[in-house]
Amino acid sequence: MNHRACIVVPADDPPQLQGSPHLERLQSYGEVVLHASRPASNAEKIERCLGAVCMINSRSAVQWPGAVLERLSALKMITVCGIGTDAIDLEAARRLDVVVCNIPGRTASIVAEHALALMFAVARQAWHQTDLLKKGRWLARNLVYLQGKTLGVLGLGSIGREMARLGTAVGMRVQGWTLHPTPERSHELGIPLRPLEEVLRTSDVISVHLKLTDQSRGLLGRGEFALMKPGAIFVNTARGAIADESALVDALHSGRLGGAGIDVFAVEPIPADHPLLHCEQVVLTPHIADQTSEGMDLLNGGAVDNVIAFLEGEPRNRVV
């Protein structure tokens, strides 16, 4: 592999890799080009990456369809700065012989901690109470006590497993659902694995930790929200497109759900007129579950490690 490759960060907005000392490790491998803004069009994506051999996609909101990848004749490798690779047309990458890598597991505890924080913030109406106090209103509210309640974890990869551990640690009864349940996995995790419908129907809190795939896209629609316990809390730190946002808003407005803590959205940044922004009983964060200083350093280091491994002929963390 050409060790004087062009390595491009096409859209580092909000800033993640900018100023990272990890980028300096790439200097001996080739020219590093970082764009601090998001491309406005597919044409601009192509223009920015025309000579790139390796691409570091630091923002999952920036999509790479096959029609764009086909125009990048020099491109041999893409790494994301996280676990999810849904921003990339993987079938096109496979066809074009472009290696795609991710960073599995490094920030699992950080993301799970954010999901736990959202759960508690919703249960105690922390944002809503703060807003009322700022407006000069001192009102008693009916809050939710979580110890002894049931936490349903959807998806039991590294983040889901950590969320299950945290839920147990704070005194919740934890149950899970996975696309690949086995008695051995249930024993390993120390929690019962149940059918999706049963988990939705019997959990006081549902926390989503699934990858976005053809199987998980739109998994939670109107029927699934209707199954949830009245007053249940819904938390999503995975991908926005896993849940039907219109159905979620309706479940909140109808009182079916007691609240929601959401870090991810189908369209990011979330549009200014999105109906979720007008729901009282929500806590919303802008896809920042792993954006602590520790988390960003782990992800930046992982992305650079992936590029170096590829350029040295030993790709790691390959998805394609």
pLDDT, one tens digit per residue, over 14-54 is 899 999 999 999 999 999 999 999 999 999 999 999 999 99
Q: Active-site residue 256, yes or no?
A: no
108-284 is classed CATH 3.40.50.720: yes
User: pLDDT digits over 196-253, tens only?
Assistant: 999 999 999 999 999 999 999 999 999 999 999 999 999 999 999 999 999 999 999 9
* Residue 287 known to be catalytic: yes
Identified catalytic residue from 59, 161, 209, 287: 287
Provide CB contacts within 8 A for 103, sequence distance 6+: 79, 80, 81, 82, 83, 298, 299, 302, 303, 306, 317
Q: Per-residue pLDDT averaged across 78-98, rounded?
A: 96
For domain 5-106+293-311, say whether CATH 3.40.50.300 is its number: no
Catalytic residue among 268, 278, 314, 318: 268
Among the listed residues 106, 194, 239, 256, the single catalytic one is: 239
Hey, where are the domains in the chain? 5-106+293-311, 108-284
**Mean pLDDT in residue range 46-75:** 96
Q: Are 54 and 307 in contact (CB under 8 A)?
A: yes
Q: Does 114 qualify as catalytic in the annotation?
A: no
Q: Is it true that 5-106+293-311 and 108-284 share their CATH fold?
A: yes
